[in-house]
Amino acid sequence: GTGAGIDGLAAVEIFRPSRLQLTDLHPDVTDCALGNLRRNLRPGLNLDVSAGAGDLAEPLARAGVSFDLIYENLPNIPLPDGLGIDLGRTSSSFHERRHGVPSEVESNLLSLHYQFLRDVEPYLTRYGAVLSSIGARRPLAAITKMAEAAGFRTRPLIFTWKIQSELDEVVPGYARQEERTGYSFNFYPVDVLEEVFANFTPTEAAARAENIEDVLRPFAISSLEAQGYDGAVPLGHSVVVLESRFS
């Protein structure tokens, strides 16, 4: 889900890789991202960079190599009836339903993250890692359990928060799932998130994630409740980046 390719540029700056592969669902997106990345590389940088479009790990299969680090930032909400996956920015928030996903994983709206971990195994080096950026609207215990069910040992590497963008588009999808399963998908007032996370770096917060969840719990606003918000009180949610490695 590389989008504009900024995450790829960040990987180049941080890791100085010898090879970089960008992937996204749509060919026009990967073409744009590849152009953005190439135009912004430092002169003289020796980097094998390519891009491929396809579903989940399909582009990695075509690359013909194994990777030391794979980063994914996949959508969580099942596609509503009547919406096409190619319509506008639909695929940045929604996905088509998957079969063969454990019911608990599907109920927690973690299907794509689970399926990606299952699919990516042949393309990850023995000591490699997958980084999964996940909006933590469900408890962290449910998210780590998903990765373990996919056959990985995992830990929160980063714990932080973000403002919920496109509130009117996104919240109804979580509310539908909340009504269907009884699982609460939680948001928080932005001023609460700012205060709770203020004294921690994202990695420090990851080490204290369970305690932070306990502090946030009294301020939780379920997705059903969030549907009634008019934007006067900005809402956000926590975000976890999981590091998953072979068990």
Between helix 209-216 and helix 140-149 the angle, nearest 10°, is 140
Tens digits of residue pLDDT in 168-226: 888 999 999 999 999 999 999 999 999 999 999 999 999 999 999 999 999 999 999 99
| Residue 230 CB burial class (10 angstroms; 0-12, 13-18, ≥19) | exposed
Question: Which residue in 11, 72, 17, 71 sits closest to 48, CA to CA?
Answer: 17
Q: Token pair 């056959």 is at which residue?
A: 151
- Which backbone phi and psi does 30 adopt, to 5 degrees? -65, -35
d(CA 67, CA 49): 13
Model pLDDT, residue 122:
94
**41 pLDDT exceeds 60?**
yes
The least confident of 35-39, 95-99, 109-113, 227-231 is 95-99
**102 pLDDT exceeds 70?**
yes
Model pLDDT, residue 8:
95
d(CA 137, CA 167): 14
**89 pLDDT exceeds 60?**
no
CB atoms within 10 A of CB 229: 17
Higher pLDDT, 48 or 169: 48
**101 pLDDT exceeds 70?**
yes
The least confident of 75-84, 201-210, 234-243 is 75-84
Copy the structure tokens of residue 129.
Answer: 């890692």
**Helix, strand or coil, per DSSP, at residue 202:** helix
Model pLDDT, residue 51:
96
d(CA 151, CA 118): 8
Compute, in degrees rounded to 10, the torsion defined by CA atoms 161, 165, 167, 172.
-80
